[in-house]
Amino acid sequence: MSSRRATTTITGSLVTAAFSTVMILSATASAEDTGPASDKGGKAVDQAPAGVELTTTLPEKISVDNSSKKTAITATVKNEGTKESGEINLLVVGFDGLRVNSVKGCSAIAEKDLPEGSNSGFSCAVDNLAAGASASYDVDATYDLSKAGRICLPVQNADGSKTFWQQGPVPFGTANPSPNAPATPLLLGTDNQPAAPGGDKKAPGGAEELPKTGFEREVLPLGATGAALLAAGAAGLWWSRRRPVDQ
């Protein structure tokens, strides 16, 4: 993958692979998110190899600049098992008002390979995670606060035939929008309730009804790959069978 030369944040053992430059840093990410990390909205899907236990986390809180709509998110994949993970891919996919603009060290997913309903996505090649190690990625995103917004973190094997874990699509949002403030804090697992011009919340129903999020969404196909997204349970789980991002 062309982005393997980029630097990622990895805790635990040193991980090296061809065309990769990996820097060992502390667990603190450089993205400007706040609050503890959470695996809210996550669930194991396909069975991982024996001794491998993969999970992901997202920050409990993020802050959206009301002028630029910019926000920063840290996406982390962890191996909580007793054996090395082998080659895996972490996908970072945006939905609705949340658009992923870049993920440091990762490659953009081609538009034809994005899940239907998503607006952006990146694939991060993790060549190996030792037992107890984690890899964190800085996600630059924008959030249109006039809409709901969700993010999804699937963890797949190298060829994309299995999804070992998936967090989301899980919403970031607030029930108390602050359009006149410099920034709006959003909470993980909270559906966004945007404010209409003048500061009033958009009423449900009518032309300004919010898009549905989470488990209420219909099953959606995965573009040209012929894979499927399955919405299920309160976590709004979806998983895919997809080919790897173009080399």
* Domain annotation covers residue 15: yes
* Domain annotation covers residue 36: yes
* Domain annotation covers residue 83: yes
The tens-digit pLDDT sequence of the chain (247 residues) is 444 333 333 333 222 222 232 222 223 233 444 568 999 999 999 999 999 999 999 999 999 999 999 999 999 999 999 999 999 999 999 999 999 999 999 999 999 999 889 999 999 999 899 999 999 999 999 999 999 999 999 999 999 999 999 999 999 999 888 888 999 999 999 999 987 655 555 543 333 333 343 333 333 333 322 233 333 323 334 444 444 444 4
* Domain annotation covers residue 218: yes
Q: Are the C-beta atoms of residues 147 and 210 closer than 8 Å to each other? A: yes
* Phi, psi torsion values for 70, nearest 5 degrees: -80, 150
- CATH at 79: 2.60.40.10
Domain span at residue 162 reads 2-229
Q: Are the C-beta atoms of residues 132 and 62 closer than 8 Å to each other? A: no
How many Cβ atoms are within 10 Å of 183's Cβ, its own excluded? Answer: 15
Classify the phi-psi angles of 97: left when phi > 0, otherwise alpha if psi is within -120 to 50, otherwise beta: alpha
Q: Are the C-beta atoms of residues 195 and 177 closer than 8 Å to each other? A: yes
Amino acid, res. 83: K
Domain count, the chain: 1
CA–CA dist 228, 117 (Å, integer): 12
CA–CA dist 67, 183 (Å, integer): 8
Q: Are the C-beta atoms of residues 237 and 166 closer than 8 Å to each other? A: yes
* Domain annotation covers residue 18: yes
How many Cβ atoms are within 10 Å of 36's Cβ, its own excluded? Answer: 8
**Nearest partner of 62 among 139, 153, 146, 152, judged by Cα:** 139
* Domain annotation covers residue 246: no
Establish whether the linkage from the previous residue to 185 is cis, with ω within 30° of 0: no
DSSP assigned state of 67: T
Query: Going by C-beta distance under 8 Å and a sequence separation of 6 or more, which residues neighbour residue 232?
Result: 215, 238
